[in-house]
Amino acid sequence: MKGTLSVLLFFVLFLSSCVIKVACVGDSITEGAGLKKQSQTGYPFVLNKLLGKRYEVLNSGRGGTTMLKKSNFPYWNCKELTNTFVFDPKIIVIKLGTNDTKPTNWKIGDFEKDYQAMIDTFKIMKSKPRIILCKPVPAFNSNWGINDSIIINGVIPVIERLAAKNKLQVVNLHSGLKDEMSNFPDGIHPNERASAKMAKIIAEEIKKNSLF
């Protein structure tokens, strides 16, 4: 009995001492574009605060990037993808797809294929990360050619299919932020209030599995 208790105590102490690394992969919305202090008010920073001391969150957002490999700015070509591998996270939150809706970029077949490729790429990491997919936040206008109709009818159905196929969690930021139009100054990028709400929604999803 004492031996069992000792093992359990060791396991509890081990878990409490482990830092759970979280990488937030995304575009300018993840990076914190438009925020006066993006390093302090971007959603990954707020997420870190909400998750607590056991977690370490990396902002792997890069403005203007797409999931599509053939586009005006693929995430695949950015140092942030390499940084994510070096970080070796236990959890990866993917929030891409907004810039993919631009007329010069959007191809639904390629989008689904490339999204699956990114999932497969992250699956081979030595940390065997838990991958969480995010439905993009709403686009309240068509700045830069971004199209909310394509987000709703193209991007989101692809994410739902891939989440089911790969048995992954999904965070619905689109419905979660649908009433926050006043907190998207340019119609595309969230302000501090909306970024904090994004972080809260994602934190709740992460905490559904408190081990990692």
Q: Give the domain ranges of the chain.
A: 16-206
Task: Write down the pTM of the prediction.
Answer: 0.90
- Cβ(139)–Cβ(148) below 8 Å: yes
- Cβ(29)–Cβ(98) below 8 Å: yes
Question: What pLDDT sits at residue 208?
Answer: 84
Quote the DSSP letter at residue 154: I
Q: Which two tokens stand for residue 161?
A: 């299919």
Kind of pairing between the strands at 169-172 and 55-61? unpaired
From the list 112, 99, 103, 34, the residue with the least C-alpha distance to 73 is: 99
Non-local (6+) Cβ contacts of 132 within 8 A are: 91, 92, 93, 94, 168, 169, 170, 171, 202, 205, 206
Half-sphere exposure of 196 (CA within 13 A, CB side): 7
**Quick one: average pLDDT of 158-179?**
98
Judged by average pLDDT, the poorest of 67-71, 109-113, 131-135, 206-210 is 206-210
Q: Give yes or no for residue 7 having a pLDDT over 50.
A: no
Task: Indicate the class that CATH gives domain 16-206.
Answer: alpha beta
Q: Each residue of 90-118: pLDDT tens digit? A: 999 999 999 999 999 999 999 999 999 99
Instruction: Name the residue type at position 161.
Output: R
Phi-psi region of 97 (alpha: psi -120 to 50; beta: other; left: phi over 0): left
Q: Give yes or no for residue 162 having a pLDDT over 60.
A: yes
Taking all residues of the chain, what is their mean pLDDT, rounded to a whole number?
92
